[in-house]
Amino acid sequence: MKQNDLPPVSLMNNQSDAVQYGETNIEYQRKVLKYITEIGSSLRLDMNADTLFKRVSEAICTALRFRYSVLYISDGAGYFHAGATAGEGPEEEEYLRQHPLPDTVVAQLISEEYRMSESYFIPAEAPLWKNDHINSFFVLPVELSESSILYEERQVSSNRIWQAEDLLVVPLVSGDNTLLGFLTPDAPLDGLRPTYETLSFLELFANQAAVVIEGARLYEEAQRNSEERAALIEIGRVLSAPEALRDLDTVYQTIYEQVKRVMPADAFFVIRYLHQKDALMIDYFIDEEVSYPTFEFQHFPANMKKLLFEERQGYLFSCEQEYAHFLNEEAPEIDDNLFGSMRPSQSFLFVPIHYGETPIGLLSAQSYQPDAYTRRHLEMLKEISIQAGIAITNARLNSELRDALKQAQESDQLKNHFLMTASHELRTPLTAIQGYLELLGAFGELVDEEAKLRFLTNARRACEELVLLLGNVMDTSRVDQDGVSLNLGPVKVINTVQLILEILEPTTTREKRPVEVRIPDDLCVWVDDLRLRQILLNLVGNALKYTPAFSKIEITAKGVDGDTLNERPLSPHNHLFDMPCDQFVIIAVKDWGPGIGAQDQGRLFTKFMRLDSALNSIQRGAGLGLYLCRQLTEAMDGRIWVESQGIPGEGSTFVVALPRYTDKDEISGQLCNLDLT
């Protein structure tokens, strides 16, 4: 029935004619009733809820001749939300959606004092509208009907004319007498306040709409249950796949996709608890369909610890202010802790992830709309968190097993490599000793004294090589098992270097090696003298073994402070670490050999490590010398590294930084925070 089916109010002779026409025209009422029935029958249970709500809101305006209408639906959690509007502008509709009506406000609207038939009419003059809080939930009509203005001009009784502040509430009641929601038709086209006849039509339509809305909600509930079951089944399927043990990112992505099926998820987190650091690591983070890399979460609120360690229920926050209050923080204007899209979330879900009694982390779904979540969403996320806990634990155990297997395989390879290297390196000096002794035994009477002396010297040198090889092996074993035993004290660097050069003098003399030493006489370090000699003997010995004869070797030392030390370029894979003093001595051993490439420098100081060029050379070694040097240096609060461009002829420089000792330290009785006593 269209608006022009009735004559305009302006064509009626007087007020009584208009009122009489609206109340007594039986033909008009029959048409209205027929139209309501047709509209009601057009609603379908299998409609999308949003579409259904919109149809209901529009139909009541069309059938009952109202300019505006709002349909409010209960969320079962204490609020009635504007599910659909008709006639309202976009701004007004958005305002109503952002201001759901609390139960307490609705209870005042449907008070018995406003009852009219089965509906409620709150007139503009009602004391209720003096409450600014209640007024804040509504918007006034943009314009009144033409009829209302004409009635006012004809001085019709004001208690019959619809006012802008009037509110009509038509309840939507389910079969079990539960309040599903209500309609608020506004600004009737005839400009008059409702009569009982008008309300009878409204309530008839509302009863039909309530039946369809209840059926549609039950249908959606069944669909939601089906979606939730399907989501859990899909998550379970992915978690049970062998790939889940190796690829947690795929598991996280699947969880996110299934969460989106059953609830809003503008942002989604999987947060892992780091037990050793007592910190949170965001393992998976997606914000508005954009994935972000993992990072450690700097801020770990105390209440989040309570959720992780003490509570199992999870948290639901309907707005940013609730979340800020939970954290005992004021919501900042600009939050420095924002990340991702840099938008503050408005609704939050947090649930803990446990495996048995062990806390693993947190799951969080967040929305940029307020009041986006219900208790049902929270319960669903808790179910998902149980499966996530199993998946994360299984993946971690699998990773640990793979690492253990890899270490076992590497250890087995190292053992085989060591046995092969050791047998080769030990056999060479033993063969030399055996050969010279057999020569002396078989031909001792035939060779002259000079030859005998040369045989014995060579045999002695082979014995020294053998002792050095076995010494490195035994020292490495002691360092790995029992740590390093140190006898710290002041040691002059120049004295130790001179002693090393005396030991190596036969080699330097034979190979005609120029050795340049530039070390101040008064430069001292706070170390174990024996261990320093062991370090320098390995470094200088390597410089002699792996560089051409006649090439120069340079040994220098100087004092530096901690800042200068940290500015020196380190080789790849070396790193700075905190040391308990700020004054150091840098001892550098430089050669002019083939150099060491950047790809090999990080492996030099590992156990059983020998470069390919060394393995193919005539020089012997077990691959333990530099590893032992690093262990001994770090035990004395120092560090060791290599500097080389890998260019033949430019060579390499092995650098050792050790704590410096001065007379001042002797007076104070302390050095580098070490007690001399």
pLDDT of residue 68: 92
Is the CATH number of domain 483-675 3.30.565.10? yes
pLDDT of residue 36: 65
Q: In terms of pLDDT, which residue wins out, 335 or 253?
A: 253
Residue type, 347: S
Checking 283-287 for CB contacts under 8 A at 24+ apart, the result is 283/248, 283/252, 283/361, 284/248, 284/249, 284/252, 284/253, 284/256, 285/339, 285/340, 286/256, 287/340, 287/341
Q: Which 3 state secondary structure label does DSSP give 361?
A: strand
pLDDT in tens, 5-16: 344 444 444 555
What letter would DSSP give residue 159? Answer: G
Residue type, 228: E
CATH 3.30.565.10 positions along the chain are: 483-675
Residues 6+ apart with CB under 8 A from 223: none
Q: CB–CB of 648/546 below 8 Å?
A: no
Q: How large a percentage of the chain has pLDDT more than 90?
A: 19
Is residue 92's pLDDT more than 60?
A: yes
Block residue for tokens 């109503």: 96
Is residue 189's pLDDT more than 80?
A: yes
Residue type, 484: V
H or E, element range at 81: strand 79-86
To which CATH superfamily is domain 241-401 assigned?
GAF domain (3.30.450.40)
Q: What is the dihedral of CA 517, 519, 524, 529, to 10 degrees?
A: 0
pLDDT in tens, 234-247: 767 766 666 655 66
Give residue 291's pLDDT band: very low, low, confident or very high (50, 70, 90).
confident
Q: In terms of pLDDT, which residue wins out, 625 or 335?
A: 625
Is residue 17's pLDDT more than 90?
A: no
pLDDT of residue 671: 44
Block residue for tokens 């029959």: 30
CATH number of 3-222: 3.30.450.40
pLDDT of residue 609: 58
pLDDT of residue 649: 83
Q: In DSSP terms, which residues pair with 186 in a beta bridge?
A: 68
Dist. CA 380–CA 51, nearest whole Å: 26
pLDDT of residue 502: 83
What tokens appear for 634 in the block?
């770090």
Give the residue among 556, 547, 455 at the shortest CA–CA distance from 507: 547
pLDDT of residue 332: 42
CATH 3.30.450.40 positions along the chain are: 3-222, 241-401
pLDDT of residue 300: 66
Is residue 574's pLDDT more than 50?
A: no
Dist. CA 554–CA 557, nearest whole Å: 10
Give residue 336's pLDDT band: very low, low, confident or very high (50, 70, 90).
very low
pLDDT of residue 238: 67
Least confident of 284-293, 550-559, 617-626: 617-626
Q: Is the pTM of this model over 0.85?
A: no
User: What is the Cα Rg of the chain in Å?
Assistant: 44
Residues 10-37 have a mean pLDDT of 56
In 241-348, alpha helices (H): 248-262, 302-309, 320-326
Q: In terms of pLDDT, which residue wins out, 422 or 389?
A: 389
Q: Which 3 state secondary structure label does DSSP give 604?
A: coil
Give the mean pLDDT of the chain.
77
pLDDT in tens, 202-224: 888 888 888 888 877 777 777 77
Is residue 299's pLDDT more than 70?
A: no
pLDDT in tens, 414-467: 666 666 556 655 665 677 777 778 878 887 777 788 887 877 877 776 676 677
Residues 122-137 have a mean pLDDT of 91
